[in-house]
Amino acid sequence: MIRAIKGTRDILPPASAVWNEVEQAARRVFGGFNYQEIRTPIFEETALFARGVGEETDIVSKEMYTFEDRDGSSLTLRPENTASVIRAFIEHRMDQIPGLKKLFYIGPMFRRERPQKGRYRQFSQIGAEAIGSDFPGVDAEVIEMVAALLDACGVKGSRLLINSVGDPESRARYVAKLKEDLAPHIEALSPDSQRRVTTNPLRVLDSKAEQDQPIVEKLPSIHDFLTDACRDHFAAVRRYLDDRGIAYEVTPRLVRGLDYYTHTTFEFLHGALGAQNAICGGGRYNGLAESLGSKVAAPGIGFSIGEDRLVMAVEEARGGTAASVLRLFIAPMSDEAFRKGAVLAGAVRAAGASVEVGPPAKLKRLMELANKAGAAYTLLIGEDELAKGSYVLKAMASGEQAHVSEAELVERLRA
């Protein structure tokens, strides 16, 4: 038997309805913030991600689906979408369009990791990018938009973590200091953290290893290394969040895995997602466009929501799946009745209701089908009904029946 590839999965009904609701909510909420959709290809030149995300990141160094095209060029299934959006921004000279460019996307991403709860090799992200401003008010609005979407989806109890990782110079000084402070304790660190000291010292900060905690606690905060400008930016973001009544936790140890982040970084956490509890991650990336070859500065900020995880949180919040949406099942007792039923179905659908027309069959069988389909109403069409042009409409929950004409039928089922 051929099965879905490891780390991929089929989204079947009724779960697929939840995905649609989440995506519709995103389009509605983002539209309210004046964001417009961008659709970029799901594969790109490998160099885009290597340069954009960072050669040394785990994503690029070991998680990408990279393959050689027939002409020998190296292509990669996108592991994230920010680099692609910035590429499109540069390619189409969107800097020439007046104002702040506010773009959102919904689509699949690919990373070759070991699957676990909330993590898949093909997963979907809902994200947005605001490009063309380094005004901290944009940072706050972007974060507000995520909070608004979670709210629209009925997801309660998420936590917002924010931090500033400063500009590249501040961060370089901080990383150097971390290496210096960690060097004497290298033997006492966990094996993972020993490796991090050389690969990515910032990662030591959020180590889960018990033995690392005494050492981590004594490390300086990145906030001590921020320039005045960085500090001002971060203070402004917090002030603008306060204005909006958005609760947050300043977390100096919050570091993000992608190289391009500057200044603001943030994360939304949610319980009941398993160990992978981050439902959204984001941050500012003022230098990304230039590192991808833009001749003009294009400071931006964005986020991506793990749609798989958001759907999990929504399902958890509801505690169940949605009920059937079928309004009417038409039960024809003959071929002639079936032909009439199909015509009636068209009229009811035009009024906005969902209709299923059963095959010609015995009434008992049709009633069983109507019940299994979860129909709110069933319309009986037999010899008598055809002769009179008056049909039996039965409300399935109460069992009540009434004789209705075509016009009455349409009116009673109008959505």
Partner RNA sequence: GUGCCUAUAGCUCAGUCGGUAGAGCGCCGGAUUGUGGUUCCGGAUGUCACGGGUUCAAAUCCCGUUAGGCACCCCA
Tell me whether residue 232 or residue 383 sits nearer to RNA (CB atom): 383
Tell me whether residue 236 or residue 251 sits nearer to RNA (CB atom): 251
Stretch that binds RNA, among 12-20, 97-105, 161-169, 253-261 (CB under 7 A): 253-261
Nearest in space to 287 (alpha carbons), one of 196, 174, 170 = 170
Stretch that binds RNA, among 138-146, 148-156, 237-245, 392-400 (CB under 7 A): 392-400
CB 18 within 8 A of CB 320: no
Instruction: Among 30, 104, 120, 338, indicate the residue that binds RNA (CB under 7 A).
Output: 120
Residue 161 is a binding residue for RNA (CB under 7 A): no
CB 298 within 8 A of CB 95: yes
Query: Does residue 280 sit in helix, strand or coil?
Result: strand
Nearest in space to 133 (alpha carbons), one of 235, 259, 264, 280 = 264
Q: Where are the beta strands (DSSP E) in 238-352?
A: 249-250, 262-269, 278-284, 300-306, 328-332
Query: Does residue 301 sit in helix, strand or coil?
Result: strand
Partners of 303 in the beta sheet?
Answer: 128, 282
Stretch that binds RNA, among 21-29, 179-187, 286-294, 301-309 (CB under 7 A): 301-309
What mask of x and - would describe binding to RNA in positions 77 to 96, judged by CB under 7 A?
Answer: ---x----------------
Provide the edge-to-edge strand list for the sheet that holds 101-110: 36-37, 101-110, 122-131, 300-306, 278-284, 262-269, 159-164, 249-250
Amino acid at 364: K
- List the interface residues with RNA, window 372-391 (CB under 7 A): 372, 380, 382-385
Instruction: Among 42, 88, 197, 209, indicate the residue that binds RNA (CB under 7 A).
Output: 209
Stretch that binds RNA, among 16-24, 38-46, 241-249, 305-313 (CB under 7 A): 305-313
Binding site for RNA (CB under 7 A): 3, 5-7, 9, 57-59, 63, 80, 111, 113-120, 123, 125, 192, 196, 200, 203, 207-209, 256-258, 267, 274-281, 304-306, 308-309, 333, 362-365, 367-368, 370-372, 380, 382-385, 392, 394, 396-397, 399, 401
